[in-house]
């Protein structure tokens, strides 16, 4: 996928293994939330991750702790539903 603009990069975890950002792709008018990491199966995901790491799209912000707690709670609930535990 070809993209035009990347904004608002945020680290997804304390290990800094992935980034969430807003990406404007050629085929869409509005920016879309995008999750990028170095092992991304899509070449554009790997490229966006590296561009963010090297500062081409501004400073990568830290995810607020409350948001991380909320995601962990959501994942825990999802695990119970999927695994029945």
Domain ranges, ordered by start, for the chain: 3-83
Measured CA to CA, the distance from residue 52 to residue 63 in angstroms comes to: 15
pLDDT at residue 13 is higher than 90: no
Chain center to CA of 84: 28
DSSP string, 13-52: STT--EEEEEEEETT-SS-EEEEEETT-SSHHHHHHHHHH
Write down the pTM of the prediction.
0.73
Q: What is the spatial distance between Cα 70 and Cα 6, in angstroms, rounded to a whole number?
A: 25
> Quick one: pLDDT at residue 75?
72
């Amino acid at each position: 996928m070809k993209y035009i603009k990347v904004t608002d990069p945020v680290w997804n975890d304390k290990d800094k293994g992935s980034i969430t950002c807003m990406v404007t792709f050629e085929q869409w008018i509005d920016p879309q939330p995008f999750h990028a990491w170095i092992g991304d199966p899509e070449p554009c995901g790997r490229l966006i991750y590296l561009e963010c790491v090297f500062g081409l799209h501004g400073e990568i912000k830290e995810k607020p702790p409350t948001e991380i707690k909320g995601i962990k709670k959501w994942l825990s609930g999802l695990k119970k539903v999927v695994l029945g535990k």
